[in-house]
Chains A and B, each alone.
Chain A
Amino acid sequence: QVQLQESGPGLVKPLQTLSLTCSVSGDSINSGGYYWSWIRQPPGKGLEWIGYIDSLGSAYYTPSLRSRVIISIDTSKDHFSLNLTSVTAADTAVYYCARYDFWNLRLDYWGQGSLVTVSS
């Protein structure tokens, strides 16, 4: 059973960088055919896909965040990370990591989510 777990600070100051890590267990992050994804959900709102990365480091981002986001992967540690720069209150959200199965075209495993609040 694949499990994903987000970790990182729950509070970030405005204009600083939000950094989260997703640890993967139950399967190697090096397994082919998967994209390791970040999705966020502002309080009371819907889901927004941020981006994903494959095991070779090829990353894709949603256009609206592309200038501020970097997703990286460390296959030796079975984890991948999100960095979002110059944050504002609008970046306050629950951040989920998830696995996108490229063979079946679905987000099949999700982490429990991590609330990040942007406030001074």
Chain B
Amino acid sequence: EMVLTQSPGTLSLSPGERASLSCRASQSVASKFLAWYQQRPGQAPRLLLYGASNRATGIPERFSGSGSGTDFTLTISRLAPEDFAVYYCQQYGSSLLTFGGGTKVEMK
């Protein structure tokens, strides 16, 4: 069974700083099967990236994704106030979906 481990659990940063969020898979994942979501407090999750690095419609360029195999990264180049939220990675495999535990990006 696939397990996605996200780290760190919480990231404390200031607006304008760079954020790097990690998603590690227990088995190799094809990049096309990896997506990232943002969830602001009290809201439903929102698709950010799919295929590990493709931005969804309307997602700012400061969000980027990279990685392959078992290690994937979501990078926010310069944090805007609205980027303080929880981020989840998600993969598809064997007809099932799996989410990581999430990384909270909080304001320092």
Q: Which residues of A contact B (CB under 8 A)?
A: 37, 39, 46-49, 52, 60, 62-63, 96, 100, 104-108, 110-113
Instruction: Give B17-55 as 1s and 0s: 1 = Cβ < 8 Å from A's Cβ atoms.
Output: 000000000000000110101010000111100110010
Tell whether, in the assembled complex, residue B97 and residue A106 are in contact, meaning their CB atoms are under 8 Å apart: no
Chain A contact residues, majority secondary structure: strand
A96 engages B45 (CB within 8 Å): yes
Contacts of B33 in A (CB 8 A): 105
- Tell me which residues across on chain B come within 8 A of A47, comparing CB atoms: 37, 39, 45, 88, 90, 99, 102
**Distance in Å from the Cβ of A43 to the closest Cβ of chain B?**
12
CA separation between A106 and B88, bound complex, in Å? 13
Residue of A nearest to B35 (CB): A106
Whether the Cβ atoms of B44 and A60 lie closer than 8 Å is no
A112 in complex: contacting residue of B44, B90, B100, B102, CB < 8 Å:
B44
Separation in Å of the A110 CB from the closest CB of chain B? 4
| A100→B97 contact, CB < 8 A | yes
Shortest distance in angstroms between B31's beta carbon and chain A's nearest beta carbon?
10
Inter-subunit contact B95/A49 (CB<8 Å) = no
Q: Distance (Å) between the CB of B53 and the closest chain A CB?
A: 12
Closest 9 CB pairs of A and B: A106-B50, A49-B97, A110-B44, A47-B99, A46-B102, A60-B95, A106-B35, A46-B101, A105-B92
| Bound CA–CA A103/B1 (angstroms) | 23
Contact of A52 with B97 at beta-carbon distance under 8 Å, contacts A47-B88, A47-B102, A105-B50 already known: yes
Contact, CB under 8 Å: B96 / A62: yes
Report whether A60 and B102 are in contact in the complex, using a CB–CB cutoff of 8 Å. no
- Residues of the B chain whose Cβ atoms lie less than 8 Å from the Cβ of A110: 44-46
